[in-house]
Structure 1
Amino acid sequence: MKIEQIYTGCLAQGAYYIESNGEIAIIDPLREVQPYLDKAEKANGKIKYIFETHFHADFVSGHVTLAEKTGAPIVYGPNANPSFEAHIAKDGEVFQLGEITITALHTPGHTMESTTYLLKDKNGKDYAIFSGDTLFLGDVGRPDLAQKAAHMTQEQLAGLLYDSLRTKIMTLADDVIVYPAHGAGSACGKNLSKETVGSIGEQKATNYALRANMTKEEFVKEVTDGLLPPPAYFPMNVKLNKEGYENVENIINEAKAFEPNVFETVANDTDALVLDVRHQDDFAKGHIPKSIFIGIDGQFAPWVGALILDYKQPILLVTPEGREEETITRLARVGYDNTIGYLKGGFEAWKKAGMEYDTVTSVDASILENKIKENVPVFDVRKPGEYASEHIVDVPSTPLDFLNEHLSEFPKEKDFYVHCAGGYRSMIAASILKARGYHNVIDVKGGYAAIKQTQIKRTAYVCPSTL
């Protein structure tokens, strides 16, 4: 038996490859399926099942394409009603895979079709669960995403989740391995661990939502408390996962390489968004006017989903050399399929062609000390929780996620500074502000990590415990 977790950092997502005696199951695959096909070919095996733990909201799964390429059935748990052909498993249904079995445990609460898959070894011993978004390490799935589809409140869904955890998962032996769908950084929970593999026993001991003496009322209150609004792209991803989508290979092949002058013409004619995914320092030194920065080496896909509200928006890319296909693929992972092309030769080709470009002023945090004494405006674009933990005295919270709601607070007639935790998000904010005409924005290089090394006055709050 072989179990491989295929973890994608920018989505904080775990897909799983399971093999026994030449038979293979894939759980929650990413949209680009060639790596799974390659693994199966190398093992001289056959993909027999494609298991989906639920209709994912934070990424587009590869189930449809993988089924088309292999003929393997897509398996969902009870209550799933996809538009494509799939096997809807009964609660407790057993699937044979070589010498092992995989049992579908219906665990509603995160969504109504949420299902945990229990793997038993060749001796019939419970070995591992693939818990999807039902159970994370350190947390459980948020119960507010499926309210509309389920015609239930988040409190009602949380109550179902409580029952699922206690009747289907906490009854398992402590040594059963837990393979969750997500780790820290995912918006599908609020307290996820950085670890990506754990055990039932560890979770009973450390996960706040699995306390042995916890009442259902306490569970509902604690799981629903402090939930931030889900990213705007989540419903669109659920729709694609439920109804189907285009093969990502077609999207890659349809994107064209444009010379600088043609790139500019296409951008104007199509009203495309020019998305620059290079490093923030490179963007600061020079970029196409009105382009938006979201770096490929940060939390790229989630920030695309949070900030580009129209998933059908035509997109033109400026990428580091050789990373065009990767960028198109990573956009498609979260449902952004309308990449019409990219700048051939990258930004250097743009400059060599003598095309107009813009810059962002980026300064060291030490410069900020005197500016604050002079009452120059400073804005903190980190998340509310980061701000509440510690921030510069008298500096307002203007989270990047909700930047458009704060536009009236940014001055257009004088310089102002923006910072995040390390410099990635503040450059995104600066690019958005410049595209909207705020050319007096200045980025604080290194963000709050650099600010903490200065003598700038800061204030911290101790958040009250919810336990």
Structure 2
Amino acid sequence: MKVEQIYTGCLAQGAYYIVSENEAAIIDPLREILPYLSRLEKDGVKLKYIFETHFHADFVSGHLDLSKKTKAPIVYGPTANPEFEAIIAEDEQVFEIGKIKIKALHTPGHTLESTTYLLIDEDGKETAIFSGDTLFLGDVGRPDLAQKAANMTQEELAGMLYDSLQTKIVPLSDDITVYPAHGAGSACGKNMQKETVDTLGNQKKTNYALNQPNKESFVKEVLDGLSAPPKYFGMNVAMNKAGYDSFDDVMKKGNNPLSVEDFESIAENTDALILDTRGAADFHKGFIPNSINIGLKGDFAPWVGAMIVDVKQPILLVSDAGTEEEVITRLSRVGFDNVLGFINGGFEAWKNAGKEIDVVKRISPQEFAEVYKTDDKVIDVRKDGEYAAEHINEAYHRPLSEISEWVNNVDDKEHFFLHCAGGYRSMIAASILNARGIRNFTEIDGGFNGIKKTEKVPTSDFVCQSKTL
């Protein structure tokens, strides 16, 4: 028997590849399926089942393409109602793969169809659980995503999750390995550990959600501090449930080099968004006007999902040469399939053609420390927890994830400084502000981490009442 965790850091997502004898199973595959097909071919095994723990909200699964290419059936847990052919498992139904077995344990709460898969080895020993978003390391799945579909409150779903954990997961042996669907950084939870594999026994000791005295306490603690889910979550659920275009077709359409003239014509005559995926260090020096910068070398796909409202939004790409296929792939993972093409030759081709360019004023933390005065306006776009831990005295806290709500309150007549933790998120914010006609600001390279090192700018962990911009 072989169990391989295929972890994708930018999505904080774990898929699983399991082999016994000449048969295999895959759990929660990503959109692009070539890596799985390569493993199957290399091992000389046949894919027998594709298991889905639930209808995912944070990424588009590869279940449909994988089933089409391999003829393996897709398996969901009880109450699932996909709009395509699938096996809907009964609670505790057993599936055989070679000499091992996988038992479906219905564990609703994160969603109604959420299912944990229990691995039973060749000797009949229960050895691992693939817990999806039911149980994370250090946390549990948020119970507020399925309210509308379930016609239930988040409190009711949280109570259901408590029952699932207490009746199906906690009674299992402490030496069972826990393989979750996500790790730290995922928006599907709030308190996940950086590790991606653990024992159930250790989770029983360390996971706050498994150490609540009763259901009432569990519900309160699990719901406390939940931020609003990213806007694309609902659209990804719909795609996973109803179906989507083949990844091969998405790649063929998007991997389309465009001349400067064609790129400009499409930008001017359609509602296409220009997405520049270069790093902030290059973007701020020059970019196509109205471009939105979300750097590929970062949490690219989740931020695309958070910043771009509609997964059907037409997109034109400006990317570093040779990265176009990676960009299209990572966009497709979160359902953004409508890439119209990319500018051939990148930004340099646009610049060399004598086209209009724009810039963002950027300074180093040291330069900021030298010019900063206590009455200067500073906007901090980090998350709530980061700001609460420490921030520049009197800085305005405006999280990047909420920029569509606060951008209209920014007064462009008054200069301000803009920063995040290191410069990735603040450049996203800078590009959005710039596209909205707000230009009277200076972005800080290196962000708060660099500012703090200068030891010249007063900071505080006192969280005062939010101030009006």
TM-score range, shorter chain: over 0.9
Instruction: Describe the SS at the equivalent of 1:17.
Output: strand
Query: What is the rounded CA distance, in whole Å, between the counterparts of 1:262 and 1:414 in structure 2?
Result: 38
Query: What is the rounded CA distance, in whole Å, between the counterparts of 2:73 and 2:262 in structure 1?
Result: 44
Instruction: Describe the SS at the equivalent of 2:372.
Output: helix
Is the 2:377–2:396 Cα contact (8 Å) retained in structure 1?
A: no
Is the 1:16–1:27 Cα contact (8 Å) retained in structure 2?
A: yes
| CA deviation after TM superposition for structure 1 residue 311, in Å | 1.5
| CA deviation after TM superposition for structure 1 residue 368, in Å | 2.4
Q: Does 1:460 align with 2:461?
A: yes
CA RMSD of aligned residues (A): 1.3
Query: What is the rounded CA distance, in whole Å, between the counterparts of 1:254 and 1:285 in structure 2?
Result: 30
Partner of 1:86: 86
Partner of 1:248: 247
Q: Does 1:228 align with 2:234?
A: no
Is the 2:134–2:161 Cα contact (8 Å) retained in structure 1?
A: yes
Partner of 1:431: 431
Alignment of 1:196-275 (within 5 A): 196-211=196-211, 214-255=213-254, 256-275=256-275
Is the 1:99–1:121 Cα contact (8 Å) retained in structure 2?
A: yes
| CA deviation after TM superposition for structure 1 residue 410, in Å | 2.4
Counterpart residue identity of residue 461, structure 2: A
Partner of 2:123: 123
Counterpart residue identity of residue 139, structure 2: D
Query: What is the rounded CA distance, in whole Å, between the counterparts of 2:370 and 2:33 in structure 1?
Result: 53
Query: What is the rounded CA distance, in whole Å, between the counterparts of 1:232 and 1:151 in structure 2?
Result: 20
| CA deviation after TM superposition for structure 1 residue 461, in Å | 4.3
Instruction: Describe the SS at the equivalent of 2:25.
Output: strand
Query: What is the rounded CA distance, in whole Å, between the counterparts of 2:284 and 2:462 in structure 1?
Result: 33
Query: What is the rounded CA distance, in whole Å, between the counterparts of 1:164 and 1:381 in structure 2?
Result: 37
Partner of 2:467: none
Is the 1:433–1:441 Cα contact (8 Å) retained in structure 2?
A: no
| CA deviation after TM superposition for structure 1 residue 355, in Å | 1.6
Query: What is the rounded CA distance, in whole Å, between the counterparts of 1:132 and 1:436 in structure 2?
Result: 39
Instruction: Describe the SS at the equivalent of 2:417.
Output: strand
Counterpart residue identity of residue 59, structure 1: F
Counterpart residue identity of residue 11, structure 2: L
Counterpart residue identity of residue 410, structure 2: F
Query: What is the rounded CA distance, in whole Å, between the counterparts of 1:347 and 1:110 in structure 2?
Result: 43
CA displacement 1:246-305 (0-9 Å, x = unmatched): 011101111221111211111111121000001110101111111000011111111111
Query: What is the rounded CA distance, in whole Å, between the counterparts of 1:50 and 1:277 in structure 2?
Result: 33
Query: What is the rounded CA distance, in whole Å, between the counterparts of 1:442 and 1:44 in structure 2?
Result: 57
Alignment of 1:270-281 (within 5 A): 270-281=270-281
Is the 2:298–2:424 Cα contact (8 Å) retained in structure 1?
A: yes
Query: What is the rounded CA distance, in whole Å, between the counterparts of 1:129 and 1:461 in structure 2?
Result: 42
Is the 1:434–1:441 Cα contact (8 Å) retained in structure 2?
A: no
Alignment of 1:53-452 (within 5 A): 53-211=53-211, 214-255=213-254, 256-373=256-373, 375-452=375-452
Query: What is the rounded CA distance, in whole Å, between the counterparts of 1:461 and 1:248 in structure 2?
Result: 48
CA displacement 1:139-185 (0-9 Å, x = unmatched): 00000000111111111111111111111111111110000000001
Query: What is the rounded CA distance, in whole Å, between the counterparts of 1:408 and 1:125 in structure 2?
Result: 59
Query: What is the rounded CA distance, in whole Å, between the counterparts of 1:343 and 1:85 in structure 2?
Result: 39
Instruction: Describe the SS at the equivalent of 2:145.
Output: coil
Query: What is the rounded CA distance, in whole Å, between the counterparts of 2:162 and 2:359 in structure 1?
Result: 52
Query: What is the rounded CA distance, in whole Å, between the counterparts of 1:5 and 1:217 in structure 2?
Result: 34
Counterpart residue identity of residue 136, structure 2: F
Counterpart residue identity of residue 180, structure 2: P
Counterpart residue identity of residue 43, structure 2: A
Change (3 A) 1:37 1:295: same
| CA deviation after TM superposition for structure 1 residue 411, in Å | 2.8
Counterpart residue identity of residue 457, structure 1: P
CA displacement 1:391-423 (0-9 Å, x = unmatched): 111111011011122224423124321000110
Query: What is the rounded CA distance, in whole Å, between the counterparts of 1:377 and 1:366 in structure 2?
Result: 17
Change (3 A) 1:313 1:62: same
Is the 1:393–1:459 Cα contact (8 Å) retained in structure 2?
A: yes
Is the 2:4–2:18 Cα contact (8 Å) retained in structure 1?
A: yes
CA displacement 1:19-55 (0-9 Å, x = unmatched): 0101010000001111101110011110100000000
Counterpart residue identity of residue 456, structure 1: V
Counterpart residue identity of residue 59, structure 2: F
Instruction: Describe the SS at the equivalent of 1:285.
Output: coil
Partner of 1:32: 32
| CA deviation after TM superposition for structure 1 residue 372, in Å | 3.4
| CA deviation after TM superposition for structure 1 residue 374, in Å | 6.1
Name the stretch that deviates more: 235-244 or 364-373: 364-373
Is the 1:317–1:341 Cα contact (8 Å) retained in structure 2?
A: yes
Query: What is the rounded CA distance, in whole Å, between the counterparts of 1:461 and 1:121 in structure 2?
Result: 53
Instruction: Describe the SS at the equivalent of 2:453.
Output: coil
CA displacement 1:226-261 (0-9 Å, x = unmatched): 111100110100000000000111011112211112
Is the 2:416–2:440 Cα contact (8 Å) retained in structure 1?
A: yes
Query: What is the rounded CA distance, in whole Å, between the counterparts of 2:9 and 2:80 in structure 1?
Result: 28
Question: How many residue pairs are counted as aligned between the two chains?
Answer: 462
Query: What is the rounded CA distance, in whole Å, between the counterparts of 1:106 and 1:450 in structure 2?
Result: 48
Counterpart residue identity of residue 457, structure 2: I
| CA deviation after TM superposition for structure 1 residue 370, in Å | 4.6
Instruction: Describe the SS at the equivalent of 1:452.
Output: helix
Name the stretch that deviates more: 348-357 or 362-371: 362-371
Instruction: Describe the SS at the equivalent of 1:129.
Output: strand
Name the stretch that deviates more: 257-266 or 173-182: 257-266
Query: What is the rounded CA distance, in whole Å, between the counterparts of 1:98 and 1:152 in structure 2?
Result: 40
Query: What is the rounded CA distance, in whole Å, between the counterparts of 2:207 and 2:405 in structure 1?
Result: 35
| CA deviation after TM superposition for structure 1 residue 192, in Å | 0.6
Query: What is the rounded CA distance, in whole Å, between the counterparts of 2:253 and 2:311 in structure 1?
Result: 17
Counterpart residue identity of residue 244, structure 2: Y
Name the stretch that deviates more: 228-237 or 402-411: 402-411
Query: What is the rounded CA distance, in whole Å, between the counterparts of 1:363 and 1:49 in structure 2?
Result: 54
Counterpart residue identity of residue 421, structure 1: A
Partner of 1:16: 16
Counterpart residue identity of residue 403, structure 1: I
Query: What is the rounded CA distance, in whole Å, between the counterparts of 2:463 and 2:394 in structure 1?
Result: 18
